[in-house]
Amino acid sequence: MIKRLIDRLRGRTPPTRPVLKLNVIARENHPISRRDISSAAVKTLYRLRDSGFDAFLVGGGVRDLLLGLHPKDFDVATDATPEQVKQVFGGQCQIIGRRFRLAHVRFGREIIEVATFRAHHSQAEGEGHGRTSDDGMILRDNVWGSIEEDAERRDFTVNALYYNIADFTLWDFAGGLADIEKRQLRLIGDPETRYREDPVRMLRAIRFAAKLDFSLEQATGEPIRRLGDLLDDISSHRLYDESQKLLVSGHSGRVLELLQEYDLFRHLFPQGIPDGTSARLLALTADSTDQRIADDKSVNPAFFYAALLWGRLQEQYARLVDDGMPPVPALQQAGQRVISRQTTRTAITRFTAQTMRDIWEMQPRLENPRPRQVDALLVQQRFRAAYDFLVLREASGEDTGGWGAWWTRYQDADPGLQAELLRALEKSGSSDGGASSSNGTPSRKPRRRGPRKRKPAAAE
Ligand code: ATP
Ligand code: MG
């Protein structure tokens, strides 16, 4: 408080600083109950309180409980510094982050993030703890503050609701409850200033709008189209993290729509929006990703990226083959090119990149299997992903010669039928490019040397 007063006298307070008004809701007037909070989070809150600190549940955990959703994690805010949190939890606790220092408290497999109340800081306060670039972007965000100040620097009003473990009250600083009621996202403070401080907030707006089915309040949505370029200054690692969250939001279909509506797509994916069957492939991939998340299954980011870049890969491939490169190296090189172009915006781990290439490079092999390779292909590590990819390509309307359906049939067949399918495949080997035979073998792709328009040819 005193520091704030001194800052104000020195004229350091940013002019757009929002003035928040605290509204405390008694425990009987809100629906949040300890039973709905993970026991790890409850223990963390109590341990902090018993050690003499303030301890609140904040962020997505509180927001999602108020909306009747299951929070994916619980964040704790406290007046204890990360070092003090470490003292309380000892070996269970690890201090992480540089740009944003916080404590991770571990309970078995669950990790509770414990963040110290932070203050907004202006450029002049530079040295060491907080740093802002000349154009207002926050570079380091480690100036400790009061809970009011902590609320001011959070992004959306619905993310600035605090549940107090001391008396089970709910503290609403920014009118977040009213916005939950209206199902809208509203930035705290002046939207443009808040996006300039941290452009990733634009992507967070899209993610929460999709995930919660909220609208963007007018003043919060309006600047995004104008300010998208600011994302170009964000590190590819941070954008990878954020795109990852967009992808596993469980609403990636809606996310893709909103990214286009707010003209942010090209800032994450510089090779542009796919069109034609590639656009349908991406939409189908988004649907199946969302379905997998709804079913609590794992999702593979490589698969998503493979679908997203498939159209561009085919163009590059066609160009290389036109220039006389043989199909196999052309496909490899095209893959290399589209991946490295993408990594200028979002980092892609080496493992993810390898998986993407495996999925792509298996497509021509699945579209032109030799009978003797069939069983070997089936047990390859990437078969499942590559097969799923082929099936989605087929569903998107791409001409795959019906091989997706063939592989489905083969896998479902008993050994007798499998042997029959292989014999039919053997026979069809001689009829290059013929129509589907009566025994259900799709036409083989003609083995061309020359270019094939926008489609990888057989890899052999
Ligand atoms: P979820 O965990 O469901 O994705 P969340 O709201 O909890 O959503 P986190 O990224 O876990 O999001 O962040 C926790 C809280 O920290 C947010 O609710 C918000 O109050 C604050 N926060 C996170 N990132 C930012 C940011 N870039 N700018 C301002 N506040 C932020
Ligand atoms: Mg969270």
Give the mean model confidence (pLDDT) for residues 283-303: 95
Q: Terminal CA-to-CA distance of the chain, rounded, Å?
A: 72
358: which residues sit within 8 A by CB, 6+ positions away?
A: 381, 382, 385, 386
CA-proximal residue: ligand 1, atom 2 (nearest):
60
Task: Indicate the range of 209-213, 245-249, 352-356, 447-451 predicted with least confidence.
Answer: 447-451
Multiple choice CATH, 1-182, 3.90.1150.10, 3.30.460.10, 2.60.40.1660, 3.40.1710.10: 3.30.460.10
In a 13 Å sphere around the CA of 68, the CA atoms on its Cβ side amount to 2
Q: What is the reported pLDDT for 460?
A: 35
Instruction: For residue 409, give every residue at least 6 positions away whose Cβ sits within 8 Å of its Cβ, in sequence order, or none.
Output: 421, 440
DSSP letter (8 states) at residue 250: S
Atom of ligand 1 nearest to the CA of 200: 27
The CB of 176 under 6 Å from ligand 1? The reply is no
Whether residue 430 is predicted with pLDDT greater than 70 in this model: the reply is no
Q: Evaluate: CB of 369 within 6 angstroms of ligand 1.
A: no
Phi, psi of 339 (to 5 degrees): -70, -45
- Kindly identify the ligand whose nearest atom is closest to the C-alpha of 204: 1
Work out the average pLDDT over 178-185: 98
Mean pLDDT of the chain: 89
Does the predicted model carry a pTM greater than 0.75? yes
Q: Is the CB of 447 under 6 A from ligand 1?
A: no
Segment 30-81, tens digit of pLDDT: 999 999 999 999 999 999 999 999 999 999 999 999 999 999 899 999 999 9
For residue 263, indicate whether it is catalytic: no
The phi, psi pair for 181, rounded to 5°, reads: -55, -45
Cα-based distances in Å from 340 to 314, 344, 450: 15, 7, 26
For the chain, the residue count is: 460
For ligand 1, mutation pick of 38, 75, 99 (most atoms within 8 Å of CB): 75
For ligand 1, atom 22, the nearest C-alpha belongs to 154
Task: Please give the structure tokens belonging to residue 124.
Answer: 């002049």
Whether 276-428 and 1-182 are alike in CATH topology: the answer is no
Ligand 1 pocket member 200 (CB < 6 A)? yes
Query: Which pLDDT score, from 0 to 100, does residue 135 have?
Result: 75
- Looking at the predicted structure, is the pLDDT value of residue 115 above 70? yes
Verify whether residue 155 is a known catalytic residue: yes
Q: What is the CATH number of domain 276-428?
A: 1.10.3090.10
pLDDT in tens, 367-413: 989 999 999 999 999 999 999 999 999 999 999 999 999 999 999 99
Catalytic residue chosen out of the listed positions 54, 75, 141, 290: 75
Q: Where are the alpha helices (DSSP H) in 51-127?
A: 60-66, 82-89
196 lines ligand 1 (CB under 6 A): no
pLDDT digits (tens, 9 = 90+) for 244-263: 999 999 999 999 999 999 99
Residue nearest to atom 27 of ligand 1 (CA): 201
Q: Where are the domains of the chain?
A: 1-182, 276-428
Q: Whose CA is nearest to atom 4 of ligand 1?
A: 60
Could you tell me the pLDDT band of residue 345, with boundaries at 50, 70 and 90? very high
Structure-token pair, residue 233? 């200054």
Does 99 sit in the ligand 1 pocket, CB within 6 Å? Answer: no
75 lines ligand 1 (CB under 6 A): yes
- Any catalytic annotation for residue 75? yes
Give 403 Cα–ligand 2 centroid separation in angstroms: 43
Q: How far is the CA of 61 from the centre of ligand 1 (A)?
A: 10
Catalytic residue among 150, 155, 198, 358: 155
Q: Which residue has the higher pLDDT, 18 or 212?
A: 212
Q: What is the pLDDT of residues 356-375, one digit of tens each?
A: 999 999 999 999 899 999 99
Q: Distance from the CA of 154 to the center of ligand 2, in angstroms?
A: 12
